[in-house]
């Protein structure tokens, strides 16, 4: 992504979690900002978890590593590097757990003109040593 002003995007966020054959789907749409700072690209958007729970989510991309940063009612920091196991942290007002992600794939393609962008992430995830399954996350980005 070229260095430029913040770009406003519409985001379709889709997650599918496979827990040993039991599938859980989660989807929402939101608006966000896409911008470049230093040597990294950023996508920032708001997640509404419930009527009273909101999380500011930032995805940071340097061309190799994707870092997920969540701030608000849930705090989380997790990096994703293809083929590598990474440690992170997941915190709510009630708990603080260590997280581990083993990333199978990371694809980042920013929107260009009329072409939609995509962030596709597939990883095996565990919280506090407990397997939470294989997570398949796809964000479809469209400039406003």
80: containing domain: 7-143
The continuous run of DSSP H or E covering 73 comes out as none
Residue 50 lies in a domain: yes
Say if residues 90 and 131 touch (Cβ distance below 8 Å): no
Residue 65 lies in a domain: yes
Q: In which residue are the tokens 């083993």 written?
A: 102
How confident is the model at residue 2, as a pLDDT? 58
Average pLDDT, the chain: 93
Residue 46 maps to which CATH number? Answer: 2.40.128.20
Which residue has better confidence, 114 or 31? 31
How confident is the model at residue 54, as a pLDDT? 81
Residue 2 lies in a domain: no
How confident is the model at residue 1, as a pLDDT? 58
Work out how many domains the chain is built from and give that number. Answer: 1
Residue 44 lies in a domain: yes
CA-CA distance, 67 to 61, in Å (whole number)?
7
CA-CA distance, 6 to 89, in Å (whole number)?
29
* Sign of the four-CA dihedral 144, 29, 116, 80: positive
Q: Using pLDDT thresholds of 50, 70 and 90, give the confidence band for residue 3.
A: low
Residue 1 lies in a domain: no
How confident is the model at residue 48, as a pLDDT? 72
Which residue has better confidence, 120 or 48? 120
- Measured CA angle at 131 (ends 59, 68), to 5 deg: 5
Residue 24 lies in a domain: yes
End-to-end CA distance of the chain: 17
**How confident is the model over 63-76, as pLDDT tens digits?**
999 999 999 988 99
Longest dimension (CA), the chain: 44
């Amino acid at each position: 992504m070229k260095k430029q002003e913040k770009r406003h995007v519409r985001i379709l966020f889709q997650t599918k979690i496979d827990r040993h054959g039991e599938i859980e789907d989660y989807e929402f749409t939101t608006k966000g900002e896409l911008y470049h700072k230093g040597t990294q690209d950023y996508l920032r958007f708001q997640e509404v978890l419930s009527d009273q729970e909101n999380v500011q989510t930032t995805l940071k991309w340097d061309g190799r590593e994707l870092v997920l940063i969540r701030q608000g009612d849930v705090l989380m920091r997790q990096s994703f590097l293809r083929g590598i196991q990474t440690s992170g942290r997941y915190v709510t007002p009630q708990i603080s757990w260590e997280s581990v992600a083993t990333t199978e794939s990371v694809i980042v393609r920013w929107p260009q003109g009329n072409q939609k962008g995509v962030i596709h992430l597939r990883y095996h995830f565990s919280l506090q040593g407990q397997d939470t399954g294989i997570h398949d996350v796809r964000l479809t980005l469209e400039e406003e």
